[in-house]
């Protein structure tokens, strides 16, 4: 009986630890104009992006810091490998940060495989993308 309780307690402890580590997960990206596909980005632009996942898989919050670009007009999270143009899966029409709800399956995929996604920052000077960077844990 004692061994059974210890086994159950161990499983609960492992599950709780995994949940706590996973629930507050973040992914980040180093942004630059040179990462824009086809050389269309701001050549001296740079920045950083942070994506934080809420305890539910349908909540994403993005914050960015940019340097040497004009004011951002949109922040996109796109599905795509480095060096390729991908598909926009989440879009923030804001200048520096925001939170939005996404499909839970998408939130889980970004959380589990951030390397399959990138952050693209658009502005009036570069409406297709001033700076971008691949997400990573």
Each residue's pLDDT tens digit, 34-46: 999 988 899 999 9
The residue range of the domain holding 83 is 26-134
What pLDDT is stored for residue 14 in this prediction? Answer: 34
- Could you report the per-residue pLDDT of 67-85, keeping only the tens digit for each? 999 999 999 999 999 999 9
The mean per-residue pLDDT over the stretch 54-60 comes to 86
Give percent of the chain with pLDDT exceeding 70: 82
Looking at the domain assignment, is residue 40 inside a domain? yes
Task: Write the CB contacts of 29 (distance below 8 Å, at least 6 apart in sequence).
Answer: 48, 49, 51, 118, 119, 132, 133, 134, 135, 136
Contact 132, 125 (CB under 8 A): no
Looking at the domain assignment, is residue 109 inside a domain? yes
Q: Is 16 left (phi over 0), alpha (psi -120 to 50) or beta?
A: alpha
Looking at the domain assignment, is residue 12 inside a domain? no
How far is it, in rounded angstroms, from Cα 60 to Cα 13?
Answer: 27
Looking at the domain assignment, is residue 7 inside a domain? no
CATH of the domain at 123: 2.60.40
pLDDT at position 98 over 90: no
Contact 82, 29 (CB under 8 A): no
Looking at the domain assignment, is residue 86 inside a domain? yes
Domain count, the chain: 1
Looking at the domain assignment, is residue 72 inside a domain? yes
Considering only residues 55 and 117, tell me which one the structure prediction assigns the higher pLDDT.
117
Looking at the domain assignment, is residue 1 inside a domain? no
Angle at 70 between CA 133 and CA 121, to 5 degrees: 25
Q: How confident is the model at residue 25 (pLDDT cuts 50, 70, 90)?
A: confident
Name, of 47-56, 89-98, 117-126, the range with top average pLDDT: 117-126
Looking at the domain assignment, is residue 89 inside a domain? yes
Q: How confident is the model at residue 91 (pLDDT cuts 50, 70, 90)?
A: very high
């Amino acid at each position: 009986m004692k061994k059974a309780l210890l086994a159950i307690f161990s499983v609960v402890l492992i599950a709780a630890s995994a949940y706590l580590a996973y629930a507050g997960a973040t992914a980040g990206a180093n942004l630059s104009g040179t990462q824009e596909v086809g050389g269309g980005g701001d050549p001296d632009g740079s920045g950083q992006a942070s994506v934080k996942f809420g305890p539910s898989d349908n909540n994403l919050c993005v914050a960015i810091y940019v340097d040497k670009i004009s004011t951002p007009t949109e922040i996109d999270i796109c599905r795509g490998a480095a060096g390729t143009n991908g598909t926009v899966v989440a879009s923030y029409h804001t200048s520096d940060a925001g939170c939005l709800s996404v499909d839970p399956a998408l939130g889980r995929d970004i959380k589990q495989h951030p390397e399959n996604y990138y952050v693209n920052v658009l502005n009036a000077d570069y409406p297709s993308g001033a700076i971008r960077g691949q997400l990573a844990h």
